[in-house]
Structure 1
Amino acid sequence: MRTEKAEADWSRVQLHIVTGKGGTGKSTVAAALALSLASQGRNVLLCEVEGRQGIAQMFDVEPLPYEERKIATGLPTPGQATPGSVFALHIDAESALLEYLAMYYKLGRAGRALDKFGVIDFATTIAPGVRDVLLTGKVYEAAKEGRKKGTSSKQGAHYDAIVLDAPPTGRITQFLGVNSELAGLAKVGPIKGQADTVMTLFRSPRTRVHLVTVLEEMPVQETADGIAELRAAELPVGAVIVNLVRPQDLTPEQLSAIREDTVDRERIAADLLQAGIGADDELIESLLTEARDHAERRALEDSQRRVVEQLDAPSFELPRLAGGVDLGGLYELAGALREQGLR
C-alpha cells in the first residue's frame, strides 16, 4: 500500500541507510531496496556492519570477506536495456582501520603487525566511538568520487547508490552521530577530521535514513521516537517501511461480522460441502476461532497504520511472504518497493 505522502524524489539520494527495531526485518528490507535500486540500471553497494553475515545468508552465497563482490542483478524493467548489479561488502572495524592505514599512511606491513599484537582490537574496544567512525568512514569512502584503490575495492569502483544495513533504531542516532561520540576522545587530528567529513555526507541531501517497522505498538512507537531523535540530530529521515503486512483479503464488513459473531454458519457449512470438505460443528467453530484471531489482529494493525500515517514521512508496505524470505522472495519485495516508488 502506498500513502499519499510517498510522492518523493529519491533519484538524488546516493546513500540509503536502513534501520529498524530488532525483529522487524530491516536486513531483508535493505537487501530488497538494493535490488529495487539495481532494477533502475544502477550499480549498488549493499553494506553491513553488524558482523552477522546476514547478506551472505539472504543471497545464499559464501560468507563475505572484506572485499566488494557482485552477488545479484536487478530486476529487468520494461524499456530498460540492462539492469544494474548489486555488490556486497561486509565491513568490520579492524579491516577498515588496516585499509585506512595502508591507503593514507602507507602502513601495510606495520598495520598488520599492529593487528597481530591486538592493538587495533584493543583501541576499538576501549573507544567504541572510534569503531563507529571506522565503520561509517568506510561507507563514506565507498560513496566518494575518484576512490583510491584499496583492500575492499581493488579497482576503486564507483557506485550509483549505497544501501547500508545499519544498527537498530535504538542505536542509529548514536551510530551516525560520530562527532558527538568522539567529543571526549579526540578534539583534533585525523580521526576527528574523518568524523567531520563523514557528517557532511550524513547530513546532506545525498543521504536518507529509512526506518523499518511492523504494525505493532512497540515497533511503531520506537519508529516514532527514532524519527524524532534523527531530526533532533539534523539527520535526514527518509521513508517508513512497514514490513510483514498480512494479506487483506477480507472486507471491513466481513471482519466486523466475524468480530461480532454474526457470521452465517450454515453458509460456511454449505461452502465447505461444495468444496468436498465435511462440515461438522467442531470444524466450523475452529475456523471461526481462527477468523476471530485474524480479525482482532487486523484491527490492531489498522490502528497502528493510522499512527504510521501521522509520522510525517513517506510510508510503504511490504507483504508477509507465506514461504519465508529466500532470494525469490527478495526479488518479490524489491518489485513491491519499485512499484510503490521507492527506487
Structure 2
Amino acid sequence: MPDTSRTAAPTSPLARRQLLLFTGKGGVGKSTTVAALGVRAAELGMRPLIVELGHRASMAAIFSFALSSEGADATIDHEPRPIACDGRLSAMRLEQDEALYDYIVAQVKIRRLARAIAGNTSLRGLFGAAPAVREIVTLAKLEA
C-alpha cells in the first residue's frame, strides 16, 4: 500500500482551516499541541505559521535545535521566520502594542498623526480599558 501519511487529504481538519486558535489555562499543553500540529501540517505539505501573542516565546524554546542548527539566533520576533521542517514551518511573535500601532497607522494613513495617537497616554489608557480592542487589532494584524 502506498504511504499516504505525507499527503493532506482535502477533508483533513488541518487542510480545511486557515486559522486555528488555541487558548486555555497555563500548563495544559497549548504550546506542545501547537508545535505538534504545526509539524504535522508541514509534513502534509502545508506551510503553517505559528503566531505567539505576547512576551512568551515557547516556540523558540521548543524548536531551539532547529534554530541553532541553521546557525541563526534563537529568537522569534514580529516577522515570520522558518523554524523547522526544511523551512515549511514558520513562527512569529506578535505584541499587542505593535499590532495596535500598525492598526492605527493603517487606519489614519498619516504616519506622524498615527504616532501621535499611538503615543498619547490618555488614548492608550482608553484602548487598554475598552473591551477587546487589543484582541481585535491583533486579529486585524493576522489578517493583513
Report the TM-score, using the length of structure 2 for normalisation: 0.70
In structure 1, list runs of 5 or more residues that go unmatched.
1-7, 75-83, 143-343
Offset of residue 57 of structure 1 = 2.3
Residues 98 and 41 of structure 1: CA distance in aligned 2, closer, same or farther (over 3 Å): same
Aligned to 2:97: 94
Match of 1:41 among 39, 45, 49: 45
Q: Deviations over 1:181-238 (max 9, x none)?
A: xxxxxxxxxxxxxxxxxxxxxxxxxxxxxxxxxxxxxxxxxxxxxxxxxxxxxxxxxx
Structure number with higher relative contact order (C-alpha < 8 Å, ≥ 6 residues apart): 1
The answer to whether the aligner puts 1:53 opposite 2:57 as a matched pair is: yes
Query: Is the partner of 2:23 in helix, strand or coil?
Result: strand
Q: Deviations over 1:261-308 (max 9, x none)?
A: xxxxxxxxxxxxxxxxxxxxxxxxxxxxxxxxxxxxxxxxxxxxxxxx
Offset of residue 119 of structure 1 = 5.2
Query: Is the partner of 2:90 in helix, strand or coil?
Result: strand
Residues 120 and 58 of structure 1: CA distance in aligned 2, closer, same or farther (over 3 Å): farther
In structure 2, list runs of 5 or more residues that go unmatched.
1-10, 65-72
Match of 1:131 among 124, 129, 134: 134
Counterpart Cα distance in 2 of 1:92 and 1:17:
16
Offset of residue 120 of structure 1 = 5.7
Aligned to 1:107: 110
Counterpart Cα distance in 1 of 2:107 and 2:135:
19
Offset of residue 104 of structure 1 = 4.0
Aligned to 1:20: 24
Larger Rg: 1
Residue correspondences, number: 125
Offset of residue 105 of structure 1 = 3.1
Offset of residue 128 of structure 1 = 3.8
Match of 1:66 among 65, 75, 78: 78
Q: Deviations over 1:29-76 (max 9, x none)?
A: 1111111101111111101124312222222253333222222226xx
AA partner of residue 91 (structure 1)? L
Report the TM-score, using the length of structure 1 for normalisation: 0.33
Task: Give the percent of matched residue pairs that are identical in Structure 1 and Structure 2.
Answer: 34
- Conserved? CA contact 2:48–2:90, under 8 Å: yes
- Conserved? CA contact 1:94–1:121, under 8 Å: no
Counterpart Cα distance in 2 of 1:128 and 1:92:
17
Query: Is the partner of 2:21 in helix, strand or coil?
Result: strand
Counterpart Cα distance in 1 of 2:81 and 2:37:
17
